[in-house]
Structure 1
Amino acid sequence: MTTDAFRALYEQLRDGTPRSPDDRRGALGHLTPERVVAAAAEVRSGRTVSLAAEIDTRPAPDNPEPAEHRMTGPAAADIGADGLHFARDRFAMNVHGDADSHLDALCHVLFDGELYNGVPADSVTSEGAGSLSLDVVRDGIVGRGVLLDIPRLRGLPWLEPDDHVTAADLAAAEAAQGVRTGPGDLLLVRVGHRRRRRELGAWNAARTRAGLHPTAMQFLAERQVAVLGSDGNNDTAPSTVAEIAFPVHVLAIHAMGLHLMDYLEFAELALACECEGRWSFLCAVAPLRLPGATGSPVNPIAVL
């Protein structure tokens, strides 16, 4: 995709997204209280499924700076001793890596000197983001989730790195699965990244991975999707646009105001959907309460 074509698509999506000058919630505006109430009707069996991968503390080709988890208690003298003692631990993470499940806030993408909706980029400082931070979703995100399984559509275990999901793929997956994405939905797109990693081992996902083609974002705009998530990064690598490393991130977050979730885990969810014969469900996302943050580790829960 040429840079000029990308710029034209960016402007189309930005200008076609209704918003007020002071809007800071972005596409979450599609997720109205009425749609949250309607999403509760998706619960039928009461089965709950985690959509997060286990946090890995071991270095890997796609995880050179893994999360750190260490025990800070109990002390050796406390083990087996009488009285009250506590087990304690400490955790640290590089949130926007290529391995752990996380949510991107709307302040995550700086493009042409601005954040989403014209907010100046210098509102992000070493002290944190002064606007569009994780605080926007401090009350969580709850709505109707829809899983579109692209490897299932193509009869494959996974998409190979550098393959693309198109708008036509998304529409075909809807038809094959008997589901339709609608306004306010949390759209989850499976590319099989996690299964490939499990079966073939980790690789440098920063250099090569499957994801959405930038033009697929037109599908999301037309359907008025509220949140986009994937079991990969959402963006392909190498990028389809020579001068833009993460075109889907730019279009989704910066042009459309879509919160993104990267590197989720859909294996159990896909099995549950197959078993129940439906691909929509109640989905609840609860990020950390960390003011000024650009993202958060996240463990979304699907309730079928």
Structure 2
Amino acid sequence: MSTSATEKVVPDMAELLAGSPKNWGKWGPDDEVGCLNYLTNDEVLRGVSAVKQGKTFTLQVQMGNPAGDPMFPGRKDVQRVNVVDRGLYMCGCGPRFPGNLEYADDMMVMYLQGSSQYDALGHLWYGDQIYNGYDAMTTIGGMRKASVLPIGERGVVGRGVLIDMARHRGKDSLDRGETFDHQDLINAASAQGCEIQKHDILLIRTGWIGKFYKSDRADFYKDYIEPGLTYSPELVKWFNETEIPNLVTDTCANEVTIDPESGVALPLHNALMRNLGVAFTEIIALDDLAADCAADGQWTFLYTAAPLKVVGGSGAPVNPIVIK
């Protein structure tokens, strides 16, 4: 525990989540994709059946945008540099080929979780074990277990449902630190005229990433705390019973940064991802999709995604595609 004269006692994660359900071993001792196992062939077909209009939306934020790259504090912006371009040829240094073709080439240095991205199931843990009971020592030097690679190899396809919490509360964006729970999600879905069904890929719009591009960067990150889901045993039980395979949001962490009740940082990363194996997808651009869903009343669709196949990666960029 940690405490001070002015702060309340903050429980250890193990204490907070004592008795929280786990899916470890449910899909065998070697499983590394967790609740994505719920997305069977029948679930893929259920997702396909949600396609009604043929509209498509890509959900990745731009990489290397001059306005900056939204990401969790502590990470640095994407750095893209030209290696070869017309200027190199103008100074006589460009590579030469028979026929005198010229070309442009560039490279990028980035955090693997510095754009729209999937977390590896072993990305975050408490104690000595990551998802499925693998030893946390397997993360040293690169993730040998529960990395993002198995998610990239498998891919994610199923029925998605978008819950627009910001619009439901009459806002462009939820406020800093504003919270909601599973019952709020159910109520918002009902107000939208849809239903969160078992095995749905759950997309939640808060307006937070959209707000990044409209805000002064220093103000956006000052005393940083995002809006989002907040931990409770009842919420974890609902996720477990509804068998949600994948949580997708337009925030950097899919949950309120510091839980307002316990003071613990990111408890749902552990309760849902580490313990249950729910795939986390973050920094997703949902404003255009949400506006279209509000206009035509169709909040369900085929969701498809596959993060980059990074060997040993704790996460990887992704550009999900939604088809309505």
TM-score (norm 1): 0.89
Q: Is the 8 A contact 1:17 1:256 kept in 2?
A: no
Aligned-partner Cα distance in 2 for 1:252–1:299: 23
Q: How large is the RMSD of aligned CA atoms in angstroms?
A: 2.7
**Greater mean deviation of Cα atoms: 171-180 or 63-72:** 63-72
Alignment equivalent of 2:116, drawn from 96, 101, 106: 101
Please name the residue that 2:291 is paired with.
Answer: 271
The SS at the match of 1:281 is: strand
The SS at the match of 1:157 is: coil
Please name the residue that 1:43 is paired with.
Answer: 51
1:28-67 alignment, distance < 5 Å: 28-56=36-64, 65-67=76-78
Between the aligned residues of both structures, percent identity stands at 27
Please name the residue that 2:89 is paired with.
Answer: 78
* Shift in Å, 1:110: 2.3
Alignment equivalent of 1:92, drawn from 102, 109, 115: 109
CA distance 1:5–1:74, change in 2 (3 Å): closer
Aligned-partner Cα distance in 2 for 1:296–1:26: 17
| Letter aligned with residue 231 of structure 1 | D
| Letter aligned with residue 265 of structure 1 | A
Q: Is the 8 A contact 1:207 1:238 kept in 2?
A: no
Alignment equivalent of 2:248, drawn from 197, 222, 229: 229
Alignment equivalent of 1:213, drawn from 218, 226, 230: 230
CA distance 1:186–1:133, change in 2 (3 Å): same
CA distance 1:163–1:200, change in 2 (3 Å): same
CA distance 1:46–1:60, change in 2 (3 Å): closer
| Letter aligned with residue 36 of structure 1 | V
CA distance 1:76–1:6, change in 2 (3 Å): same
The SS at the match of 2:166 is: helix
| Letter aligned with residue 86 of structure 1 | Y
* Shift in Å, 1:78: 2.5
Please name the residue that 2:300 is paired with.
Answer: 280
* Shift in Å, 1:13: 2.6
* Shift in Å, 1:243: 6.1
Aligned-partner Cα distance in 2 for 1:206–1:140: 36
| Letter aligned with residue 131 of structure 1 | K
CA distance 1:25–1:150, change in 2 (3 Å): same
Q: Is the 8 A contact 1:146 1:185 kept in 2?
A: yes
Residue 250, structure 1, aligned to residue 270, structure 2: yes
Alignment equivalent of 2:79, drawn from 52, 68, 71: 68
| Letter aligned with residue 181 of structure 1 | I
Q: Is the 8 A contact 2:166 2:172 kept in 1?
A: yes
Residue 3, structure 1, aligned to residue 23, structure 2: no
The SS at the match of 1:278 is: coil
| Letter aligned with residue 218 of structure 1 | K
The SS at the match of 1:148 is: strand
CA distance 1:34–1:60, change in 2 (3 Å): closer
CA distance 1:224–1:17, change in 2 (3 Å): farther
Aligned-partner Cα distance in 2 for 1:119–1:16: 9
Aligned-partner Cα distance in 2 for 1:17–1:158: 39
Q: Is the 8 A contact 1:165 1:212 kept in 2?
A: yes
Q: Is the 8 A contact 2:56 2:323 kept in 1?
A: yes
Q: Is the 8 A contact 1:102 1:263 kept in 2?
A: yes
CA distance 1:6–1:273, change in 2 (3 Å): farther
Alignment equivalent of 2:29, drawn from 17, 21, 24: 21
**Greater mean deviation of Cα atoms: 210-219 or 154-163:** 210-219
Q: Is the 8 A contact 1:3 1:241 kept in 2?
A: no
* Shift in Å, 1:294: 0.9
Please name the residue that 2:173 is paired with.
Answer: 158
Please name the residue that 2:96 is paired with.
Answer: none
* Shift in Å, 1:5: 9.7
Q: Is the 8 A contact 2:174 2:206 kept in 1?
A: yes
TM-score (norm 2): 0.84
Alignment equivalent of 2:199, drawn from 175, 184, 187: 184
Q: Is the 8 A contact 1:57 1:69 kept in 2?
A: no
Aligned-partner Cα distance in 1 for 2:14–2:127: 14
**Could you list the runs of 5+ residues in structure 1 that have no partner in the other structure?**
none
